[in-house]
Chain A
């Protein structure tokens, strides 16, 4: 369909080719009045500076410290999370899943790149790439080992393939040794990967 681009591959590096192709499409979309360049800047700024995994960390720390909030998360995660101001695109239908001593949860989207944007931001490249998408459902223990997570053989693994518009947020187990910590301090232990299930929270010794 776009043979004109094939001719150019010989002369240019792939990134350069894509840069030109995107620039040409943007010019055309703007010229036709379909997009407003200022809106493009606002979209980019939103996901580069305002939406990211620190949002999810707030949700997790609140769940760790407030039983009523945890209960709300279990009943209606979308509303509970929205109460903190995190809602909307790619987080319209949220479900929180809790790790326990018996079961570890891992989230994947084998078919594309579904990911809870309002609480985690845009997904990292590995989450969207074939090695993770292909193996998370078949060999999650092997996947976790590559992330440095070794679970006892007695711990069951539950993988959630995000094949619809439900978006899953893993609530990792609260690390031991954090008794009495305020939510603001606990937030710092909550990593992005721990909310996907590909990691564990940081150890309290570091803080």
Chain B
């Protein structure tokens, strides 16, 4: 039993994360203050949410790199509507990007299924189509000056504390949303029939086909799911930054893929868990935060970041191969 738990990617990653935290704490005790941790969690909620969507696609054996464009289009349409009509209801604003995300995801799924072209090619093309169209229509114009409630919502906290300087800080609503989505994704993947089918398709697509699964339905689900989460993430990104720029999110695909793969998702499909991906995002977030707290020169940031990711990914891959070997012997 203990052996089974100890061999899991999540446990291994959690261990690495704890060691990293202790090191950062020794270098600068401010790292482990509630205020800093709450800030880090809030700042990374956008990344955290889209990484969960990417996980589901990766588990199914697919890949989606167009989600940055989907999130951008979704948030841009929302931004245009709420600034033009000065929409006071945050809930209504929240509802705008979601159907856009789902629709664009469905478009991806349709092309992936019908053309049988590798999803990397389909989604890279669609990244350019979605983003290109947005640039043509929007002329790259930035959107800012949102209605008051939208500005206040970004500061909303589920748990509020007051620092010694009298400034309130706490657990942001966006962090809660991120963790709730992680939990929901876990439930879907683990307990719903569609979730099991996603693993089955990713594990062995031919077997899934012969077992009579409706492959298109599963693909439709995974690409719509990442579209759905991209819509939510687009909202979160706009609220956090109080500005929508068409070129702010596009280009960050690799950050998200790195976090998902670091968290144990396999590019070959069939493996990965929401908890692992949350830990993967936290791992990258802690390093980024820690580099400034350690007062490291920015010239070194990329080098250190790259080295640590390579190291973690190598160890993780090694550990996974050990696990596979062990399974074969059982």
> Do these two chains really belong together in a complex?
no
